Amino acid sequence: MNEIINYFSSIPSSHRALILAGGIAFFWLIETAVPFVKFQYNKWQHAGINLFFTLTTIVVNFGLALLLLKTAQWTTENSFGILNWLPELNPWLFAIVGLLLLDLIGAYLAHLVEHKVKFLWRFHLIHHTDTWIDTTSANRHHPGESVIRFIFTTLGVLIVGCPMWLVFLYQTLSVLSTQFTHANISLPKKMDNFLSYFIVSPDMHKVHHHYVLPYTDSNYGNIFSVWDRLFGTFKTLDRDKLVYGVDTHMKSEENNKLSNLLSIPFQKYRSSNS
C-alpha cells in the first residue's frame, strides 16, 4: 500500500494524461472491433465534439487544481473530515473507506442533485443529449458543468477529509470507470449482472442514458453501485429496449452540433415529455 500512496502522492501530470488518453484508445479499439450497437454515425465527428468537451474539462480542472490541493492539505493539517475523525485504520481499509465516501459525496450525490435542481440540470443535460453513447461520451460535459462538478469534488474532499494521494487515486479510477461504462461494448449478461453488485457496470450505466424517465433519473453511481442499491435509485432495462439521448433534445441539429450544445444551458427550459 505504501507504494500506491507514494505514487499517487506525486503522480506526474504526464501519467494522468497517459491514463486518460490510453483508456480512450483502449476502449475505442474494442468498441470499434466488437460494438454493442452498430451506430450509423460519423464516429470521428462525434468523437471530435466529445473530445472538445474533454479538453474543456481538463482546462477547468487544471485552472482550479490549486483550490483542490489546498483543500486536501488543510484537511490533513487540521485533522478535519470523516476519515480524520475515525479511529486509526489500516492503510488498505483507509483507502477503501475514503474511496467509497468520495464516491458518495463527490460523485453520487453531485450527480443526483444535478438531475433534481433545474439550474444544474441545464448544464448536465449536454451529457445526456448524446444519442451515440461510446467511450468518448464519458467526458461530454459542458464547461459550466465541469465547474459545478469541481465544486462538488472539493466539497467531498473537505467533508471526507482526504489526503491528496487519495484524491488522485479516486480520480484515476473514476476516469477508467467512466470510459468503461460508456464504451459501446457489452459483457456477457451474467458477468455484467454480477459486477453490478459491486461496481457500476456497462449495462447499469447505459440504463441511465435511456432517453425517458424514470430511467434517466436512476443509476447515478460513478464507480461503486452500492449507493444506488442502498438509496433505491437502481433500475434495470433490457438491452434491446435502450434508446440513448434525452427526449427533449432528440433532433440531430440539437444534440450533434457543438455551438448548440454550448448554448443549451441558456436556452428556454424544456420539460420532459415523459
* Residue 87 in grid coordinates: 479511529
Of 137, 126, 113, 143, nearest to 217 by C-alpha is 113
- Report mean pLDDT in 10-residue bins for the chain, 274 residues: 91 92 95 93 95 96 94 96 94 96 97 97 97 96 97 96 96 97 96 97 98 96 97 96 96 94 93 70
CA distance 79 to 257: 47
Cis peptide bond upstream of 214, omega within 30: yes
Looking at residue 273, its pLDDT comes to 65
Contact 105, 81 (CB under 8 A): no
Looking at residue 87, its pLDDT comes to 93
Q: Find where cell 425517458 sits.
A: 212
Q: What is this structure's pTM?
A: 0.94
Looking at residue 2, its pLDDT comes to 87
Looking at residue 271, its pLDDT comes to 82
CA distance 126 to 263: 10
Looking at residue 249, its pLDDT comes to 95
Domain limits, the chain: 2-188
